[in-house]
Amino acid sequence: MSDANPHRQWSPLSARERRVLGVLVEKQKTTPDAYPMSVTALVTGCNQKSNRDPVSSYDAVDIEDTLLGLQRKGAAILVSGSGRVEKWRHNLYEWLDLKNQPVAMAVLAELLLRGSQTVGELRGRAARMVQDGTGPNALRDLDELMEVLHSLADRDLVVFLSPPGQKRGVVVTHGLYPPEELERERQKAAHAQAAGIEEPRPCVSGPSREPADAGISDELAELRAEIKTLRSALDTLRDEFQRLKDALGA
């Protein structure tokens, strides 16, 4: 992460801070009627099993302490109290200087909730959070996502972990890690890249089939990413249905 921008307001975030802020953005965009959020709702949102990596088990004290820390940083705001249930909202549009950039915020929220992922996975996952007035064509293809990612990378908010020039399976993450965590993410990505390099195939006579095999491999990787996205969406629907049942006392 670069410190070249002297006017940058934001600072690195802990794992709990990243999770809390990611949940606040997610719920603002997907369930606006339930936003701002209480501590109890944030505990549930942080610990849900879908759309989270890793799955956490925070309690109310963890979340309260985290919110107070985010409040001191200027990243979260207490919006009600004085005898009423306290509720919180994020202040990331101002804190990260992303005013009027809801698609960029959706992309960043997915990275906060899941960490490093391929751009194909990210597009499918972030798309669920851009149906809040940003238009039906938001993130309609990878080119549009890459434009958003490069804009965020220019602000050190996104980091490309794949080697420059790589076309398939490009891995990105957010830039809000503390420096030592970000370095670990870089090392993990480098190791995964090295492990994914195939051994040279023995020479055989006859027409080469490598181009066709490579195309099939790419299509298979994209299909697997789509399946993961669909499973994630199904898990989200199950969580929302269970919360609705609980609220109705069913």
Q: Is the pLDDT of residue 107 over 90?
A: yes
Q: Which residue's entry shows tokens 């972030």?
A: 126
Q: Of 47, 49, 41, which is closest to residue 16 (Cα–Cα)?
A: 47
Strand 171-174 with 117-118, pairing? antiparallel
Grade residue 7 by pLDDT with cuts at 50, 70 and 90.
Answer: low
pTM (predicted TM-score): 0.76
CATH of domain 101-195: 1.10.10.10
Distances in Å between the Cα of 218 and the Cα atoms of 167, 201, 213 are 11, 18, 9
Residues of the chain with CATH 1.10.10.10: 10-95, 101-195
Quick one: CATH architecture of 10-95? Answer: Orthogonal Bundle (1.10)
State the pLDDT at residue 201.
40
Segment 82-92 mean pLDDT: 88
Highest mean pLDDT among 7-11, 32-36, 218-222: 32-36
State the pLDDT at residue 82.
56
Q: What distance in Å separates the CA atoms of residue 141 and residue 175, rounded to the nearest whole number?
A: 23
State pLDDT tens for residues 152-209.
999 999 999 999 988 889 999 999 999 999 999 999 999 988 887 533 444 444 444 4
State the pLDDT at residue 242.
63
